[in-house]
């Protein structure tokens, strides 16, 4: 839930998939859970105004980027970027980076790190292959679907640890 020009907008994960598609469903699920975790911490009394949210991502995947864009419009508003900082200790490896996000809102910042055990070694090995065989590409799709299902079945507090600054 976010606010947009004074009105509230509820955006579901199904809505995110209508925008992004299923190609990077796991990354979209990670970003969706990160926002579910961060928004109540950034704006405890009401949903945050989407145009005031900033996002730094430790993961360059298109699914995460598109999920953040759909909900916050941060990419279009030039409030989204890849972090130049090293990943915090314990941040699980992701294709091209780590599952670490930093969301800001009106002077408050929340660092989010995916919990250990949610990203399998198999996922990272298969999803990171540059030229997968057809069988490896099928396996990668299966692993992405499984990860998205796993993340979406959990409360956000069980997916991302949060550090408020």
Residues 31-52, mean pLDDT to the nearest whole number: 98
pLDDT of residue 125: 85
Instruction: Count the domains in the chain.
Output: 1
Neighbours of 33 (CB within 10 A): 27
In CATH, what number is assigned to the domain containing residue 158?
3.30.1330.130
- Whether pTM > 0.85 for this model: the answer is yes
- Which H or E run contains 56? strand 53-57
Strand partners, 164: 110
Name the residue range of residue 88's domain: 2-164
User: What residue spans of 12-117 are helical by DSSP H?
Assistant: 13-20, 25-42, 62-72
What is the three-class DSSP state of 164?
strand
Q: Per-residue pLDDT tens for 60-104?
A: 999 999 999 999 999 999 999 999 889 999 999 998 899 999 999
pLDDT at 128 over 80: no
């Amino acid at each position: 839930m976010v606010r947009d020009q004074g009105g509230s907008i509820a955006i579901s994960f199904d809505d995110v998939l209508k925008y992004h598609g299923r190609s990077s469903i796991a990354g979209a699920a990670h970003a969706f859970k990160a926002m579910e975790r961060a928004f109540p911490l950034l704006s405890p009394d009401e949903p945050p105004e989407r145009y005031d949210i900033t996002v730094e991502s430790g993961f360059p995947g298109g699914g995460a980027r598109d999920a953040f864009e759909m909900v916050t419009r941060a990419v279009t508003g030039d409030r989204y970027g890849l972090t130049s900082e090293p990943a915090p200790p314990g941040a699980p490896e992701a294709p091209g980076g780590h599952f670490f996000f930093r969301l800001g809102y009106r002077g408050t910042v929340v660092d989010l790190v995916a919990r250990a055990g949610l990203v399998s070694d198999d996922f990272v090995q298969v999803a990171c292959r540059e030229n997968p065989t057809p069988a490896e590409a099928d396996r990668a799709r299966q692993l992405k679907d499984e990860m998205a299902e796993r993340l979406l079945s959990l409360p956000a507090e069980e997916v991302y640890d949060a550090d408020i600054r």
